[in-house]
Copies of this chain bind each other. A is one copy, B any other.
Amino acid sequence: MIEPHGGNLVDLKTIAATEDLRENSSLVLTERGLADFEMLATGALSPLTGFMAKDDYLSTINNMRLSNGLVWSIPITLPITSDQYADLKTADEINLKDSTGKALGKIFVSDIYTYDKHLEAEKVYQTTDDKHPGVAALQMQGEYLIAGEVEVYSLPEYDIFQEYRLAPVELRKVFQEKGWQRIVGFQTRNPIHRAHEYITKCALEIVDGLLIHPLVGETKSDDIPASVRMECYRAILDNYFPHRHTVLAVYPAAMRYAGPREAIFHAITRKNYGCTHFIVGRDHAGIGNYYGTYDAQKIFENFTRDELGIEPLFFEHAFYCKRTDLMATTKTSRAMDHEKIFLSGSKVREILKSGGRLPEEFTRPEVEEILRRHYSNEKK
């Protein structure tokens, strides 16, 4: 089994002492905070054991590495507002609560520091435009960052996908039981259309198993809801992928839309889940025109294979080729443009919103039906 990032799988779980919970100051986590907390708690962010101190934060932003040199591309921070700062500035320990007031764990405060949002936006998102949802979230968050080790009593509770919420240690056990040595991870925040099916199957051909690992943390409002997407994934797995070589689990991270930087983050965290290979498609974790189509692939050139420890598999834009009646990319097809069937994400939404049908060459009928139902419910 592949080594976790930095060598050891982190486990932050402990047993809560009731008096502890009573005495501490407390902080209610935002949706993103909960996602980061869950990622930390389960070891998905190994080797991180808490929210970043200033040296790691600055090193991540400026050098895409932790202060110890380990590759790390996205800051993991716990922001608080000035008002919260006034309450918490002298606290040594702070209970971390969900929106119901339940304490999920605590942070041992090592520092509370200010930071430069403009710099973070420029470095991480390559833009300071607040139409970018990652930049917008950054602008809206508090002016102080709490640093410190985290201790976990329980994971955030969700109504949905419980059976698919496999922590790194659980997913590694599944892989071991299946006897897989080489596992490719597929990150997605969209339904799986035939282009994705093609790419994941190409990748699966050269490894032992495929992990379909959709992001179900916070996404932007016009993305298709995770519950609808999960229905699509189940439909496609039940009909088009052999169970012996495919696993579906959810990835609890919040989406940053940081494009290239987030592709690195998605890859190294998948290593923690036991993946040896990771699919990076066109415009991975991108949005709008903020990143070049293949920037999220090119960024991998900055790191050696040993530093990353996971093999990225780069794919081009796939389409249905009418000349050969097969899925393909420009690398593998001689099709002229008029022989290619491809729809953009916005075109798909437009068709479905107007009650139209997606062609079978683009989407499996089982997926099409789920999406059509979703959009028709939305209208009502």
Contacts and interface: CB of A to CB of B under 8 A. Distances in A.
Interface stretch (A65-73, A114-122, A133-141, A326-334): A326-334
Contacts of A314: 206
Nearest to A313: B206
Contacts of A240: 324, 334
A331 B204 contact: yes
Contact of A206 (B206, B239, B325, B327): B206
A149 to B, nearest CB: 36
Contacts of A206: 202-203, 206, 313-315
B199 A332 contact: no
A326 B202 CA distance: 12
A241 B199 contact: no
A205 interface: yes
A242 B334 contact: yes
A316 interface: yes
A201 interface: yes
Interface in A180-208: 199, 201-206
A153 to B, nearest CB: 41
A329 B205 contact: yes
Contacts of A329: 205
Among A204, A331, A334, residue most surrounded by chain B Cβ atoms (within 10 Å): A331
Contacts of A241: 332, 334
A245 B332 contact: yes
Contact of A205 (B202, B239, B334): B202
Contact of A333 (B242, B315, B328): B242
A239 B201 CA distance: 23
A194 to B, nearest CB: 10
Contacts of A245: 331-332
Contacts of A201: 202, 328, 332
Contacts of A331: 204-205, 242, 245
12 contacts: A199-B205, A201-B332, A203-B206, A205-B316, A205-B329, A206-B315, A239-B334, A240-B334, A241-B332, A242-B334, A245-B331, A245-B332
